[in-house]
Every structure is written in C-alpha cells, then in structure tokens.
C-alpha cells in the first residue's frame, strides 16, 4: 500500500491504451512492409520527417486497431500513443506532425502510382509466401463487387453509375476485382491482388487483366505449376476460358444460359439415366449420410486459336450437377407459383366495390393468360372457363322501352398437368460447370465441394466492406487517392490473412483449439479464429505513466497479459517481450537512454 506522501508526490498519471498495437506492429515488421516501401518509392527532395515506409507501418496499425481509415483521426491517435509508437518502431525522431492528414494524402499520392503499387504488392505477397505453404497447383478465386459512394459522378472518372441489385441506382459506384488464393489450413483466402475500376465497367472484361496480375505475383515461385482459376458465370465467356487455357492454367466456372443454351442442357440431361448419376454425400448432425448433389459429366471438343493464331481443338469437361437443396427450393417455388396463380385467377371473379370484373369470356381468358405468363406456369396449370349465360326481360317504364338484358357468369376449373410439372421439376436444381482440370486432380465430388467454397472470396469482400477496416463510407474525393486507399486496405487485409494462417497452422500442428475468445461462452473453441476475434482479446492492455516531478524519471507499468493473449502471441511465433518489454523501453525513453538495446 502506497504511503500518503508517495501519493501526494504524484503530479500526473497518464494511461496509454496498448491493446493489439504491439502484436500488429510485430506482424507488419515481420512482413518487411517498411523496408519494401522505402526501397521502391523514390521520395522527392522536399520530403521531411519519417520515411514513407515507417509512416505506413504505423498508419496500418491505426487502421487495423481502430477499424477506421479516416485521415483526420490519425494525428490525435498518434499523439495519444506517441511514446508507445516510438519504442515499437525504434524511431525516437517520430513526431505527431509526421501523421497529419496532409502528409497522409501525400503518402496516398505516392501509392497511387500504378508501377509503385505493383512492385509493393508483389514484394509483400512474396514475404507472405515465406510463411504460407503454397500448394503446387493453387486455387485462385476471382470475383468483382461494387462499392458505392457520394462522390460526384460528373467529376469522378472512378465513380460511375452501374448496375447492382443491392445498391442505390442514384449513387455512383466503383468496382473492385479481387483475386484470393485458397489454403487448406483454415480455408480463408489470401488476397493475392486486385483491380479498382469504374463502376460502369462490365465484370466479364476484368478477368483477363486480374489473371495477368495473378501470374505476375506468382511468377517468382518457380515450384508452382498450373493454377486453377474459379469464378462465377461472368468468367465463363469463351474468350476468358481460352485465355486461361493458353496461360497454361485451368478453370472451373458455371456456364450461363448464353454460354450453354437451355435446349442443349435439357437434351443432355434427358439423355442420361438417373440411376447412373454420380452422388455426393455429407453427414448430417446425427451422423447419417445425406445426399448433397448428384449428376454426370462428359467431354466437349472446343476449338480455339493458339498463340500463333492457328485454330486447334481441346477437350473441356462439362460437369452437370444437381444440387439437392437447390432443386428442393426451386421445386417448392414452382408449387408456390401455381398456388399463387390459382388465387390470383380466382380473385378475377371476386366482385367488390370499386373493382372491375371481366364481363366477357374473351376478356377473362386474356386476364388468365397474363397471370399464367407472369407466374411462369404456362403449360403446368390449365384453366377451364365454364360460362353460364343469363337474360332477363325488363318491362317498359316511363320513357324507357321494354328490353332484354344479357350477361354471363363464370365458373373456373383448375387442372394441374402433373406430368409436365414432374418433367419441369426433374430439370430443376442443375448447374453446369466447365473445367479443364483432369478427373485425377479433381473428381466429380471434389468439383462440387471446390465450387461451394466460392464463399471464401465473398467473406474477404465482407472483411473489406464491414469488418477489418470498413471501406464505406469513403471520405476522399480525388480518384487517385481513393484507389491508393483501397491499395492500403488490401495490405491490411494481407496482414490479417497472414495472422489467421499462422494461428490456424500452429493450432493444427499442436492438434489444439483456441479457447476463451467467444464472449459469454468461454468453453467454446475454434481451430480457425478470425483476425478480428483474435485481436479483440488484447483489448484493455494498457501502460500507466506516473509523473512525480520533472526531475524524476516517470514510473512506467503495464497491465499483465492473460493466458489467452500469451497463447495467441506464441501461436503467431512471437515472444511475449513484444509486450512485456514495453514499460522498460518507455522508461528508458524518458531517461533519454537507448531503449533499442533491450
């Protein structure tokens, strides 16, 4: 217990929130990001202060720790963590003014240079590959996603109007084309490379440029053989498939009904015997086998132009897959459409105030046909109209002469064509994939599972949009700086990917799972934790600086690390002294001694 005199001698107490900053900086340092940037970017003679690489290394810590990319928020964060950041970086000359928003904008200007960025991206990926166990034949997943902003469409060359089913059509958008490389340790994709293009640009024209970038990044690794590129139907154009083949790689892509017309699909499916279908199973929660998919495959001869411009032939596997769940949902949808059509057609004859009902059989038939077409049940539901004609004599009254009024009433009879419905349902749930990879490398069932893992790249887009450092909203206005910001966020995503991989690999080698990382459920464990969940465990780690007087060196102490954070540090391959030595180093900093000797 401290004496009253000791307490009275305290002039001030300051707390520095360390949290995940130290472990983030350790990972950024391991990847050599600072050295890479400083060796590639040539700064002009007016540059003063910390090098661009050092600024970026600290800035990335801010982004990942705070999940924020606003430039204006960086300077006050640096001021609050200055001593910590000085001892982490080993740069005693660091100043708060090295991180003004003006300085960070200059950093973005340098990183917006296409040649600079390409070299930096390749170098950082090469550093990552010293940690990753890259497969000899890696799987690379490709996809594009729009990102909206409030930037002026008229003034921007990047933000343009484009189609997206999830976005506001009144706002401009840019588009990010992302390539992620699979790994079998944790299943999370490594963000290999990306393109940023105007939102008006069509997806199908982005695949060849992104594949060229992938080939450039992986070219240094001589042990890598044929890559497998996986994408959605927009990648399935003949031009894209031929390009991948000529690049001495393989592809796996679903074919759209433009690339493979409905008539050809139906003809091929109807030629096959269902009892000969190949089947894919999984086990449900009760441990019982459950049918996931079934189907068949065959080869097609495809003509293409080789690199010399001569026409040649090659074989392409066509894999027909009927998903059990997809078929059930489509079949249920047809039943619902038939039921909905019956209700709508019945309602035509319901008489109520303000509602017109068909007076003639021809009008009723037209209205019925419109509903059948709208509900897509033509040929599946037949509607017979039974007409009853009525007439009534009206006597003369006043100035009106006697007359006969005629009208009709209708009764409807519905018949569902069960054979037509059954035939249509048989054709539901099918997806046709085109691939050049051999059966020996990827069998029918592995094709099914390989494409089902396409959500790996979608999860990386989700990290970019909402989790690691949310991209939206974008506050910058200049196109080149927006592109550079996306480049920077991709580096942050690479850092997280490496951390996730290292932890999952260490857990697998030790045959363990990581516990105490789920709030409210400490016994729940996982062998594949996400970076966001891991970094959250460091929250609350703080350094306390107690100033007694100007003549006395401040007392510096740090909160203890718990067993979970110590375990994470160990799984990442770091030593606990990345945290435990911080208080000593900061105390030496205040005493103006060389803290780098620790």
For 251-265, letters b (16+ CB in 10 Å) and e give bbbbbeeeebeeeeb
Q: Read off the pLDDT of residues 297-326 as tens digits, 9 standing for 90 and up.
A: 999 999 988 888 889 999 999 999 999 999
User: Mean pLDDT across the stretch 484-510?
Assistant: 95
Between CA 522 and CA 351 the distance in angstroms is 63
Tell whether 48 is covered by a domain: yes
Between CA 268 and CA 272 the distance in angstroms is 7
User: What six digits make up the tokens of 457?
Assistant: 């790249």
Q: State whether 432 and 517 are in the same domain.
A: no
Tell whether 191 is covered by a domain: no
Q: Is the pLDDT of residue 7 over 50?
A: no
Q: Note the pLDDT of residue 593.
A: 62
Closest by CA to 583, choosing from 177, 84, 65, is: 84
Between CA 73 and CA 84 the distance in angstroms is 18
Q: Note the pLDDT of residue 419.
A: 94
Between CA 147 and CA 483 the distance in angstroms is 12
Q: Is the pLDDT of residue 596 over 80?
A: no
Tell whether 169 is covered by a domain: no
Q: Read off the pLDDT of residues 60-107 as tens digits, 9 standing for 90 and up.
A: 999 999 999 999 999 999 999 999 999 999 999 999 999 999 999 999
Q: Read off the pLDDT of residues 227-271 as tens digits, 9 standing for 90 and up.
A: 999 999 999 999 999 999 999 999 999 999 999 999 999 999 999
Q: Please, is 168 exposed, middle or buried when counting C-beta atoms within 10 Å of its C-beta (0-12, 13-18, 19+)? A: exposed
Average pLDDT, the chain: 91
Between CA 133 and CA 182 the distance in angstroms is 11
Q: Is the pLDDT of residue 592 over 80?
A: no
Q: State whether 283 and 425 are in the same domain.
A: yes
Task: Give every CB contact of residue 357 below 8 A, 6+ residues apart in sequence.
Answer: 348, 349, 350, 351
User: Mean pLDDT across the stretch 22-42?
Assistant: 97
Q: Note the pLDDT of residue 259.
A: 94
Please state the domain count of the chain: 2
Q: State whether 413 and 288 are in the same domain.
A: yes
In the beta sheet, which residues pair with residue 409? 388
Q: State whether 405 and 277 are in the same domain.
A: yes
Q: Which domain holds residue 98?
A: 11-111+510-597
557 within 8 A of 18, measured Cβ to Cβ: no
Q: State whether 263 and 394 are in the same domain.
A: yes
Tell whether 463 is covered by a domain: no
Q: State whether 516 and 383 are in the same domain.
A: no
**Before 154, cis peptide (omega within 30)?**
no
Instruction: Decide which of 436, 470, 497 is a domain's last residue.
Output: 436
Q: State whether 514 and 431 are in the same domain.
A: no
Around Cβ 37, how many Cβ atoms within 10 Å? 25
Q: Note the pLDDT of residue 371.
A: 97
Q: Note the pLDDT of residue 207.
A: 97
Q: Read off the pLDDT of residues 390-410 as tens digits, 9 standing for 90 and up.
A: 888 888 888 888 888 888 899
- Alpha-carbon dihedral sign for residues 75, 77, 79, 84: negative
User: Mean pLDDT across the stretch 452-460?
Assistant: 87
451 phi and psi, to 5 degrees? -75, -30
Q: State whether 276 and 385 are in the same domain.
A: yes
* Single pTM value for the model: 0.88
Q: State whether 393 and 516 are in the same domain.
A: no
Tell whether 401 is covered by a domain: yes
Q: Note the pLDDT of residue 363.
A: 93
Q: Read off the pLDDT of residues 121-175 as tens digits, 9 standing for 90 and up.
A: 999 999 999 998 888 999 999 999 888 887 888 888 888 888 776 667 788 889 9
Tell whether 286 is covered by a domain: yes
User: What six digits make up the tokens of 485?
Assistant: 């910001």
Instruction: Decide which of 436, 466, 483 is a domain's last residue.
Output: 436
pLDDT bracket for residue 1 (50, 70, 90): very low
Q: Is the pLDDT of residue 274 over 50?
A: yes
pLDDT bracket for residue 6 (50, 70, 90): very low
Q: State whether 282 and 421 are in the same domain.
A: yes
Q: State whether 522 and 430 are in the same domain.
A: no
User: Mean pLDDT across the stretch 411-436?
Assistant: 95
Q: State whether 432 and 525 are in the same domain.
A: no
Q: Note the pLDDT of residue 4.
A: 47
User: Mean pLDDT across the stretch 425-429?
Assistant: 92
Q: Read off the pLDDT of residues 544-583 as tens digits, 9 standing for 90 and up.
A: 998 877 778 889 999 999 999 999 999 999 999 999 999 9
Tell whether 92 is covered by a domain: yes
User: Mean pLDDT across the stretch 181-204?
Assistant: 91
Instruction: Decide which of 381, 402, 436 is a domain's last residue.
Output: 436
Q: Note the pLDDT of residue 275.
A: 92
Between CA 168 and CA 199 the distance in angstroms is 13
Q: Is the pLDDT of residue 525 over 60?
A: yes
Between CA 464 and CA 82 the distance in angstroms is 28
Tell whether 404 is covered by a domain: yes
User: Mean pLDDT across the stretch 372-383?
Assistant: 96
């Amino acid at each position: 217990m401290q004496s009253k005199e000791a307490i009275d001698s305290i002039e001030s107490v300051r707390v520095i929130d360390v949290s995940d900053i130290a472990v983030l900086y350790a990972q950024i340092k391991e990847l050599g990001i600072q050295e890479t940037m400083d060796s590639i970017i040539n700064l002009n003679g007016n540059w003063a202060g910390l090098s661009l690489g050092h600024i970026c290394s600290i800035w990335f810590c801010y982004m990942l720790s705070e999940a924020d990319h606003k430039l204006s928020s960086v300077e006050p964060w640096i001021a609050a963590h200055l001593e910590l950041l000085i001892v982490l970086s080993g740069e005693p000359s660091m100043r708060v003014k090295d991180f003004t928003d003006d300085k960070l904008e200059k950093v973005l200007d340098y990183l917006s240079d296409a040649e600079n960025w390409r070299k930096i991206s390749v170098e950082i990926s090469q550093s990552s590959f010293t940690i990753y166990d890259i497969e000899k034949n890696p799987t690379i997943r490709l996809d594009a996603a729009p990102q909206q902003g409030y930037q002026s469409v008229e003034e921007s060359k990047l933000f343009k109007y484009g189609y997206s089913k999830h976005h506001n059509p009144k706002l401009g958008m840019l588009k990010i084309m992302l390539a992620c490389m699979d790994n079998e340790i944790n299943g999370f994709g490594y963000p290999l490379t990306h393109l940023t293009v105007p939102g008006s640009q069509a997806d199908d024209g982005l695949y060849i440029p992104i594949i060229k970038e992938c080939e450039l990044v992986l070219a240094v690794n001589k042990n890598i053989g044929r890559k497998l590129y996986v994408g959605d139907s927009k990648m399935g154009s003949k031009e894209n498939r031929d390009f991948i083949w000529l690049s001495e790689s393989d592809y796996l892509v679903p074919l759209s009904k433009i690339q493979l017309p409905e008539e050809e699909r139906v003809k091929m499916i109807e030629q096959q015997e269902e009892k000969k279908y190949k089947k894919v199973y999984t086990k449900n929660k009760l441990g019982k086998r459950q049918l996931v998919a079934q189907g068949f495959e065959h080869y097609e001869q495809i003509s293409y132009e080789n690199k010399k411009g001569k026409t040649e032939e090659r074989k392409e596997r066509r894999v027909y897959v009927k998903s059990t769940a997809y078929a059930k949902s489509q079949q249920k949808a047809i039943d619902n459409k038939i039921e909905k059509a019956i209700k709508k057609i019945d309602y035509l004859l319901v008489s109520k105030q303000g509602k017109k009902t068909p007076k003639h059989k021809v009008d009723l038939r037209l209205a019925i046909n419109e509903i059948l077409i709208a509900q897509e049940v033509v040929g599946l539901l037949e509607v017979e109209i039974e007409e009853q004609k009525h007439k009534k004599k009206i006597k003369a009254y006043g100035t009106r002469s006697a007359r006969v009024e005629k009208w009709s009433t209708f009764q409807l009879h519905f018949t569902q064509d069960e054979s037509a419905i059954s035939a249509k349902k048989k054709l539901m749930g099918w997806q046709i994939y085109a691939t050049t990879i051999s059966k020996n490398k990827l069998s029918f069932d592995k094709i099914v599972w390989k494409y089902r893992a396409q959500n790996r790249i979608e999860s990386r887009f989700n990290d970019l949009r909402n989790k690691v450092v949310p991209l939206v909203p974008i506050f910058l206005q200049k196109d080149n700086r927006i592109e550079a910001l996306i480049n920077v966020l991709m580096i942050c995503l690479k850092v997280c990917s490496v951390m996730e991989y290292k932890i999952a690999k260490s857990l697998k080698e030790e045959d363990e799972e990581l516990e105490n990382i789920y709030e409210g459920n400490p016994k729940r464990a996982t062998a594949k934790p996400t970076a966001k969940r891991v970094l959250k465990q460091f929250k609350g780690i703080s350094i306390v600086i107690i100033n007694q007087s100007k003549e006395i060196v401040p007392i510096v102490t740090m909160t203890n690390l718990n067993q979970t954070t110590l375990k994470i540090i160990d799984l990442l391959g770091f030593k606990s002294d990345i945290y435990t030595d911080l208080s000593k180093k900061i105390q030496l900093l205040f005493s103006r001694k060389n803290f780098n000797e620790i």
